[in-house]
Structures are given as C-alpha cells and as structure tokens.
C-alpha cells in the first residue's frame, strides 16, 4: 500500500465525523465582532410604560381581572403610540397582566398566563397597529414544565406575532431572611433547558431591524448582563417589581449598551412606596436619557437611540476574563445548578419551603 492510500484511510474517519456531526456555532466571536441584521433606520425610539399592578388574587374571577389588566395595557400602549416620534419599542414592567401573587405554589398557579396565548394575541394587535415591538413580563405556565411557575418576558413583533419568550436567567438569592423566590429559572433546570432549547437560548439575543435586543428581569447580577453583552446586545430591556437605579446605570456603563427599566407604581405610604416607579432609560455611559419623576403615578417616558451611529465600529466589551479566570474557576455557587430538576410533585410549595430546601442543599452551610 502506498503512502497516499494509507493517508486516505486515516482521513476517512475524520471526514465521516466532519460530515455526520452537526457543527456547533460559536456563542461569542473571538475577534470582538457580533452578528447583526441590517438596520431599517438610523435612530429608533424606545417608550417605557410605567403602570400600577392589580393582582389577579384581588378579583373574585381571575379572568375578569385579566381582562381589566389587558384593557389597561392596551390603553396605555395606544397613548404611547400616539406620541411623536412614534415608538419602535413598547416596554412594560414585570407583571402588567397578572400582578404579583402571594401564597403557595398551588395558589400562584391559578394566576398565570400562557405564552403564546389569548393575551399575546390581543397585544399582538396593538403591536401591529403601532408598528412596534411590544415587550412585557408575566407569571406563566408551560405544559412542558408542569407545576413550574415561570417568569417570562414576551417579545411581540411588529407583525403582531410572538418573536421570543425570555425565561428569567436566575433568581437573586439570600436577599430575604425567611424565604426564597420559588419561580423556576434557567439556572434552576439548566441541563434540561439546554437539552430542550439549545445552549444559545440561555442568553438569547434577538437581532431586529432596530438593533440587537435582549430582555431580562434579573437584578444585581453583573455576570448575567456581561454574558448578554458578549453575545452582542445593543439595547438591554429590563422589567422589574422595584429596582435600584444604580444597578441599571452601572450595567449600561460596564457593558456599553443602552438600557431601560420599566417599574411598577406603588401607592404612597406603603412599606416599599419609595422604590416604586421612577422608570428609566440609560445611555451606554450610564447617563440618564429619561426618567419618570413619580413613584406612584402612571406614565410614559421615551428616548431616541442613535443605533446606526452607536453600532459603527463597535465591538463587544473589553473584559479582563483571562486575568480573573483562575479565581472564577475555583468559585463555588452556594446553591447548585439544576436545583429544581425534580419530580414536579416535590417542588417546594412556598417561599419558606424553598429557603428550607436551599439550606439543605447549600454548599456553604453543609461543608
């Protein structure tokens, strides 16, 4: 057998693997670039819609409450669309449809929606009429994830159809002394989520004709926003039930993207009233582009984003990842990944039960 034949036989298995295995695309480009689609206009307009919350628990018939909340969303959206210039994005807060619900898992499941569902169809009519992307958060359920309460941010396109349903990446932990947040996040079922939707969907970037966007309800977690920035986010849209302005401004500045936070309003005199409202839009340098002045009054703020000029010669941010990698590789999260990957019947029923479960599986408390 001559050399060329022997070489061919050695290459056959490699050629077979190359053509038989699907290629894995990169999550982050190594040269600082990121994927985009062509822009439709040089400057886009973002509207943030600040409203109160009416919990479905407060209604004898949750369907009646859902209809009332939906009608109010549409009314506020129409007001935003009547502004000049007309907005290209309509951003609502975390719970404009369902409000916040308390109590057990069994109780909370009654006050959720499905995405897509009847509500997204109705809001799709508004998005199409306004010719704008419409973004809102909600408690949601999914038949593929029985008994799990999801925190979903829906993005409805200009054609009225659902473009993306953003799961919350992770919940903040150990912020309350007596309970933990019981909703299911990507982190809580990461392996199954990755298997079902793919690794790229852990930090999905929606490439639109108005810029690269992503949506998140995460707060106080810079690693999450750095990951989105590495993947090419230009406009980070955030939904909240209370927030800290410094968090939003710092994330814009450190990740070089525009951002907005839509917050709920709260009545005056309550325990958290000072943290309501004051929704904001921020520039990549952290400066405020717009801010609602009230904690308790509903309203709309807008800002124009020169997306074409911003995108020109832009790269993903410059992080010191090589320098900190050794430290990061030895860090252990207190609560392990996939902590809610369990029999649905065994999911913690309350926030207090969730805390007890975290205490049991804690890497810090059980050395």
pLDDT of 4: 46
Q: State the distance between the two ends of the chain, measured CA to CA, in whole angstroms.
A: 62
Spatial separation of the C-alpha atoms in residues 20 and 336, rounded to whole Å:
35
Q: Is residue 84 predicted with pLDDT exceeding 70?
A: yes
Bridge partner list, 51: 264
Bridge partner list, 164: 155
Q: Which of 208, 283, 275, 240 is nearest to 37 (CA)?
A: 208
Q: Is residue 350 predicted with pLDDT exceeding 90?
A: yes
Local structure of residue 87 (DSSP, 8 states): P
Are the C-beta atoms of 94 and 64 separated by less than 8 Å? no
Fold classification of 41-361 is Nitrilase/N-carbamoyl-D-aminoacid amidohydrolase (3.60.110)
256: left (phi over 0), alpha (psi -120 to 50) or beta: left
Q: What is the pLDDT of residues 314-341, one digit of tens each?
A: 999 999 999 999 999 999 999 999 999 9
Token pair listed for 16: 């077979």
Q: Which residues are within 8 A (CB) of 242 and not within 5 positions of it... i.e. 6 or more apart?
A: 263, 264, 272, 275, 276
The percentage of residues in the chain with a pLDDT greater than 70, rounded to a whole number, is 93
Q: What is the pLDDT of residues 252-304, one digit of tens each?
A: 999 999 999 999 999 999 888 999 999 999 999 999 999 999 999 999 999 99
Q: Is residue 18 predicted with pLDDT exceeding 90?
A: no
Q: What is the pLDDT of residues 238-263, one digit of tens each?
A: 999 999 999 999 999 999 999 999 99
Are the C-beta atoms of 308 and 43 separated by less than 8 Å? yes
Q: Which of 239, 302, 296 is nearest to 89 (CA)?
A: 302
Token pair listed for 104: 């057990």
Residues in the chain, total: 367
Q: Which residues are within 8 A (CB) of 229 and not within 5 positions of it... i.e. 6 or more apart?
A: 236, 255, 256, 257, 316, 317
Rounded (10°) angle between helices 62-81 and 118-130: 10
- 133-140 and 150-156: which strand pairing? antiparallel
Q: Is residue 19 predicted with pLDDT exceeding 60?
A: no
Q: Is residue 23 predicted with pLDDT exceeding 60?
A: no
Q: In a 3-state reduction of DSSP, which class is residue 344?
A: helix
pLDDT of 21: 41
Confidence of residue 25 (pLDDT cuts 50, 70, 90): confident
Bridge partner list, 152: 138, 167
Count of alpha carbons within 13 Å of 198, Cβ hemisphere only?
7
- Quote the Cα angle for 125-130-136, to 5°: 70
Are the C-beta atoms of 53 and 95 separated by less than 8 Å? yes
């Amino acid at each position: 057998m001559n050399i060329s034949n022997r070489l061919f036989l050695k290459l056959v298995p490699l050629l077979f693997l190359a053509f038989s295995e699907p290629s894995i695309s990169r999550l982050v480009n190594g040269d600082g670039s990121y994927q985009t689609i062509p822009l439709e206009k040089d400057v886009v307009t973002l509207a943030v819609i600040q409203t109160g919350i009416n919990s479905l628990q407060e209604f004898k018939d949750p369907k009646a409450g859902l209809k009332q909340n939906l009608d109010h969303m549409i009314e506020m959206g129409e007001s935003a669309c009547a502004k000049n210039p007309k907005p290209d994005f309509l951003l609502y807060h975390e719970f404009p449809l369902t409000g916040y619900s308390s109590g057990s898992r069994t109780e909370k499941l009654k006050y959720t929606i499905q995405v897509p569902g009847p509500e997204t169809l109705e809001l799709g009519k508004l998005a199409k009429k306004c010719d704008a992307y419409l973004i809102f958060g909600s408690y949601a359920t999914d038949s593929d994830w029985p008994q799990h309460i999801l925190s979903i941010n829906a993005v409805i396109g200009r054609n009225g159809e659902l473009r993306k349903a953003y799961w919350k990446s992770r919940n903040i932990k150990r912020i309350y002394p007596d309970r933990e947040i019981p909703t299911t996040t990507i982190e809580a079922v990461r392996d199954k989520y990755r298997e079902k939707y793919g690794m790229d969907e852990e930090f999905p970037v929606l490439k639109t004709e108005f810029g690269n966007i992503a949506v998140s309800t995460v707060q106080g977690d810079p690693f999450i926003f750095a990951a989105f920035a590495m993947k090419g986010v230009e406009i980070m849209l955030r939904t909240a039930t209370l927030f800290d302005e410094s968090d939003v401004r710092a994330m814009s500045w450190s990740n070089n993207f525009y951002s907005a936070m839509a917050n709920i309003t709260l009545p005056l005199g309550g325990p958290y009233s000072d943290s309501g409202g004051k929704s904001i839009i921020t520039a990549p340098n952290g400066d405020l582009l717009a801010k609602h002045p009230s904690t308790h009054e509903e309203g709309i703020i807008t800002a124009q984003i020169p997306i074409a000029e911003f995108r020109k010669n832009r790269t993903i941010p410059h992080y010191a990842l090589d320098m900190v990698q050794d430290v990061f590789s030895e860090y252990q999260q207190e609560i392990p990944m996939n902590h809610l990957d369990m029999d649905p019947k065994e999911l913690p029923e309350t926030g207090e039960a969730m805390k007890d479960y975290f205490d049991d599986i804690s890497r810090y408390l059980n050395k």
